[in-house]
Structure 1
Amino acid sequence: MASKVQVEKVATLTGHRDSVYTLVQAAEEHRFFSAAGDGMVVAWNMQAPDTGDLVARVNASVYALCYLPERHLLLIGQNREGVQVIDLESKQILKSVPLPKVPIFDMLYTSEEGKVFVSMGSGGVAVLDAETFELQTIIRKADKSARSLAYNKYSRELAVGYSDHKIRVFDAGSMELKYELTSHTNSVFTVAFSPDGKLLLSGGRDAHLRVWDVEQKYTERGYLIAHMYTINHITYSPDGAYFATCSMDKSIKLWDAQTFKLLKVIDKVRNASHGTSVNKLFWSAHQNQLVSCSDDRTISVWDINF
């Protein structure tokens, strides 16, 4: 099966001076943003990938970005400094939201709830009003970091992966805790709902990819030992037929979303992929291209043909 998937690296984007931690979709499907340990936030165009456009520079590493398409705003999670709201037209800071002086690991905006969720190194999840960016509350259900966020628009639930090895599922409106999922044996770095809202996938430091049935109160369907080391991120293809994982083991893997069969391994030996940990993925509807970023300071753009 694996031979049917054709992968070609079409661009290597350089310019960051430190590990690139995160990627997020912009307004058009061929544009995206990146952020890194150098504090630089850069906008890229996949149709002209040679040069990035510096959007902002902050004084700390940036692990998390969040884009609000309706207002063309970009939220920057500035470690130990809170959240900066950038107007992308003017590149001006509209607002700075002070938060506890801890790392910000993930941010998620949902128009359905009118909220921005921020997961933090204190174990807290901050809830901001998406209109005013006022802090509404901080929900703290763990002493260890809240690492990853996913929203299910069908069940209106927020899944949060924590460094205490648990996934907690909240009612996204009330932030009432509904479920605690306890199968992982180490930090949960990534959670992702399937596009139809029926499954939750999770991964992290134990290298296990776990599959949870949302409609059966998150009963675990099973797991795969998906990588040799930490799974850093899981993302679905735009059509929902596939998903990709990336890892500290330097590889990217492509999977069938129905059968969970491994379809392709993208790595340094076979594809001139990254030389160090692959931190985040962004799967664009633009020519079905997959974008990856790494501790090696580069961003790769992959053409994927199934």
Structure 2
Amino acid sequence: MASKVQVQKVATLTGHRDSVYSLSPSAEEQVVLSAAGDGMVVAWNLQDPENGELVARVTTSVYALCYVPDRKLLLIGQNQEGLQVIDLQSKQIRKSVPLPKTAVFDIAYAAALQKVFVALGSGAICVLDGENFELQTIIRKTDQSARCLAYNQASGELAVGYSDNTIRIFDAGTLQLKHELQSHTNSVFTVVYSPDGKLLLSGGRDAHLRVWEVEKDYHERGYLIAHMYTINHITYSPDGNYFATCSMDKSIKIWDASTFKLLKVIDKVRNASHGTSVNKLFWSAHQNQLVSCSDDRTISVWDINLG
């Protein structure tokens, strides 16, 4: 099948001195934020991508960033230390929130509930007040890592993927456990709700992309063997018609969100893509550009023409 999707690499962003683990939107559509094992958080302007601007620097590696849009704040997950709240305009630390001394794998902000959820390497989910970032409670259903989070505003649910191969669905308001999804055969590294909130997509170390129907009590619609190795991240396009996956197999794949057909493979041989594991994706509304980051310490910017 000849795909109409055209992909062109428009920039390679360098400057991080260690694996780049996280990408995040910011206050401006054309600016994307990155964080890495070097503790640096950098802002990149996609209109002039060559020179990054240092936003913050912490003393440990950073796996997770979360942008709080209504207040132009950035939450930085500082491994072993907790959460740093940064004012993006002044670049000042507003608050440091100490958390249990372990890795911070993901952060999700639920604007409707004014809550922040933090997934920890201890298996705990920390729930913070979204206004003052005070720790409210900690929920823990397993001692294996909580790796990824997704908040569904439509259903008021929080999906959490764990290293015990399970996805747990919580009521995001009451934190009551509603479902345990146990089809994955290895750690779950990424969960994402479709923009309409009707589907949950998940992936992880078993390389399977699984699709769950939210309104049917998370009945599993099916799965694809989407990559050769671990699926690290899944993200939807701004219009919701497509999604992209990235993997430890060094590739990025673009899929049709309604048919789940594979439309494009982006890799080193065909596209001069990353040489090692691709860790995170961010699909920007700025010119529909897809941003990827990798263990190779670089960030790539891709023009995606969907034909």
CA distance in 2, matches of 1:91, 1:257: 37
* Alignment map for 1:269-288 (pairs within 5 Å): 269-288=269-288
CA distance in 2, matches of 1:154, 1:26: 23
For each residue in 1:160-215, what CA deviation from the matched residue of structure 2 results, as whole angstroms up to 9, or x when unmatched? Answer: 00000000000000110000000000000000000011100000000000000001
CA distance in 2, matches of 1:79, 1:154: 31
Unaligned runs of 5+ in 2: none
- Would you say 1:72 and 2:72 are equivalent positions? yes
Larger mean CA deviation between 189-198 and 27-36 belongs to 27-36
Q: Is the 8 A contact 1:2 1:262 kept in 2?
A: no
- Would you say 1:112 and 2:115 are equivalent positions? no
1:301 aligns with 301
2:96 aligns with 96
Q: Is the 8 A contact 1:9 1:303 kept in 2?
A: yes
Secondary structure at 1:240 match in 2: coil
Q: Is the 8 A contact 1:205 1:229 kept in 2?
A: yes
Secondary structure at 2:71 match in 1: coil
* Alignment map for 1:228-247 (pairs within 5 Å): 228-247=228-247
For each residue in 1:108-155, what CA deviation from the matched residue of structure 2 results, as whole angstroms up to 9, or x when unmatched? Answer: 111111011000000000001010000000110111000000011100
1:136 aligns with 136
Offset of residue 93 of structure 1: 1.0
Percent identity over paired residues: 79
CA distance in 2, matches of 1:148, 1:299: 21
2:7 aligns with 7
Secondary structure at 1:4 match in 2: coil
CA distance in 1, matches of 2:233, 2:163: 15
Unaligned runs of 5+ in 1: none
Q: How many correspondences in the alignment?
A: 306
TM-score normalized with structure 2 length: 0.99
Q: Is the 8 A contact 1:41 1:56 kept in 2?
A: yes
CA distance in 1, matches of 2:211, 2:142: 22
* Alignment map for 1:207-286 (pairs within 5 Å): 207-286=207-286
CA distance in 2, matches of 1:62, 1:2: 39
Partner AA of 2:182 in structure 1: T
CA distance in 1, matches of 2:227, 2:189: 14
CA distance change for structure 1 residues 2 and 96 in 2, over 3 Å: closer, same or farther?
Answer: farther
CA distance in 2, matches of 1:215, 1:2: 34
For each residue in 1:11-42, what CA deviation from the matched residue of structure 2 results, as whole angstroms up to 9, or x when unmatched? Answer: 00000000000000111221111000000000
CA distance in 1, matches of 2:298, 2:92: 26
Q: Is the 8 A contact 1:2 1:264 kept in 2?
A: no
Q: Is the 8 A contact 1:66 1:109 kept in 2?
A: yes
CA distance in 1, matches of 2:119, 2:155: 20
For each residue in 1:209-259, what CA deviation from the matched residue of structure 2 results, as whole angstroms up to 9, or x when unmatched? Answer: 000000100000010000000000000000000000000000000000000
CA distance in 1, matches of 2:211, 2:244: 14
Secondary structure at 1:3 match in 2: coil
- Would you say 1:58 and 2:58 are equivalent positions? yes
Offset of residue 3 of structure 1: 2.8
Larger mean CA deviation between 86-95 and 290-299 belongs to 86-95
Quote the RMSD (CA, aligned, Å): 0.7
Secondary structure at 2:142 match in 1: coil
CA distance in 1, matches of 2:152, 2:29: 21
CA distance in 2, matches of 1:2, 1:259: 16
CA distance in 2, matches of 1:27, 1:90: 13
CA distance in 2, matches of 1:253, 1:181: 25
Secondary structure at 2:215 match in 1: helix
Moved over 4 A (4+): none
Offset of residue 72 of structure 1: 1.1
